[in-house]
């Protein structure tokens, strides 16, 4: 589904942050992306979300060379990707419910077709009592769970999550991991960037380890 070949990335005139990355992310696969702070995990997720272009190398995504995709087609392609940003990026003027429902609304779906799904997912991530509040009122962990629900609601082909359990306690981290695994079982490829060793120890999954700009993969 995604193929990287000799991909390199530098910001401006700075040093190369990612070097010669060659790997595949197969359909329906599940992997952790890890490595020391500053190793480039967020940068790699941004490449996968097509919000950064590589400085060299080739990226194929959904069978297309991303260098030849016109800019105005990128939003359509990104709709096939769910993403949980480290800083959540919820819209402060929309309620929790509206934030989570947004991907479906943008796709032109009728609210009656998704309302119960959104409410069920919000209940699952422990936000059943917070559906009508605005994000500034939510705690860090609640914002994180709302961001996760928004990324999952439209059953993306691939889910990218940047430290998705960074703000929650271990039982909730386990619950969220179960949610990612269930989504994966239903066919979504999952990439979870994390430092959390105890989280990674809970599942046998592929590990992509970034260090000094290089990537090692342990299947
Ligand atoms: N917009 C930017 N402009 C210049 N340098 C950047 C930019 N974003 C990130 N960097 C640099 O790229 C390197 C990798 O950063 P990145 O955030 O991808 O690492 P990370 O592995 O996600 O770190 P962490 O685990 O701390 O979140 C760092 O040295 C960082 O300073």
Q: How far is CA 187 from CA 66, 164, 180, in A?
A: 23, 20, 11
Q: Which of 12, 32, 35, 42 to mutate to test the pocket of ligand 1 (most atoms within 8 A of CB)?
A: 42
Let me know: does 217 contact 206? Beta carbons within 8 Å: yes
Q: For 52-56, what is the mean pLDDT?
A: 95
Tell me: pLDDT of 34 over 90: yes
The answer to whether the CB of 11 is under 6 A from ligand 1 is: yes
Mean pLDDT of the chain: 93
Which residues are paired to 3 by β-bridges?
Answer: 24, 60
pLDDT at 12: 93
Strands 2-10 and 16-25 come out as antiparallel
How many CB atoms within 10 Å of residue 103?
Answer: 19
Is the C-beta atom of 38 inside 6 A of ligand 1? yes
Mean pLDDT of 15-41: 95
Buried b (16+ CB within 10 A) or exposed e, 56-67: ebebebeeeebe
Residue 62 has pLDDT above 90, yes or no: yes
CATH for 205: 3.40.50.300
Question: ipTM score of the complex?
Answer: 0.96
Structure confidence by residue, pLDDT tens digits, 113-140: 999 999 999 998 899 999 999 999 999 9
Pick the residue whose CA is nearest to atom 3 on ligand 1. Answer: 11
Q: Is the pLDDT of residue 8 over 90?
A: yes
How do residues 63-118 score in pLDDT, each as one tens digit?
999 999 998 998 889 889 999 998 899 999 999 999 999 999 998 999 999 999 99
**pLDDT recorded at residue 18:** 96
Residues spanned by the domain of 96: 2-218
Give me the number of domains the chain comprises. Answer: 1
The encoded tokens of residue 37 equal: 């702070």
């Amino acid at each position: 589904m995604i193929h990287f070949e000799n991909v390199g990335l530098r910001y401006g005139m700075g040093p190369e942050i990612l070097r010669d990355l060659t790997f595949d992310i197969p359909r329906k696969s599940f992997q952790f992306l890890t490595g020391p702070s500053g190793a480039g995990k967020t940068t790699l997720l941004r490449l996968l979300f097509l919000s950064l272009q590589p400085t060299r190398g080739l990226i194929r995504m959904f069978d297309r060379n991303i260098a030849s995709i016109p800019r105005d087609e990128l939003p359509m392609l990104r709709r096939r990707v769910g993403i949980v940003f480290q800083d959540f990026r919820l819209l402060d003027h929309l309620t929790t419910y509206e934030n989570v429902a947004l991907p479906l609304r943008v796709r032109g779906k009728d609210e009656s077709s998704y309302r119960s799904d959104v409410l069920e997912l919000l209940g699952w991530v422990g936000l059943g009592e917070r559906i009508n509040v605005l994000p500034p009122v939510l705690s860090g962990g609640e914002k994180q769970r709302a961001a996760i629900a928004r990324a999952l609601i439209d059953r993306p082909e691939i889910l990218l999550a940047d430290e998705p359990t960074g703000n929650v306690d271990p039982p909730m981290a386990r619950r969220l991991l179960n949610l990612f695994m269930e989504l994966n079982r239903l066919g979504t490829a999952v990439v979870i960037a994390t430092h959390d060793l105890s989280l990674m120890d809970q599942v046998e999954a592929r590990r992509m380890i970034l260090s000094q700009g290089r990537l090692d993969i342990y299947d």
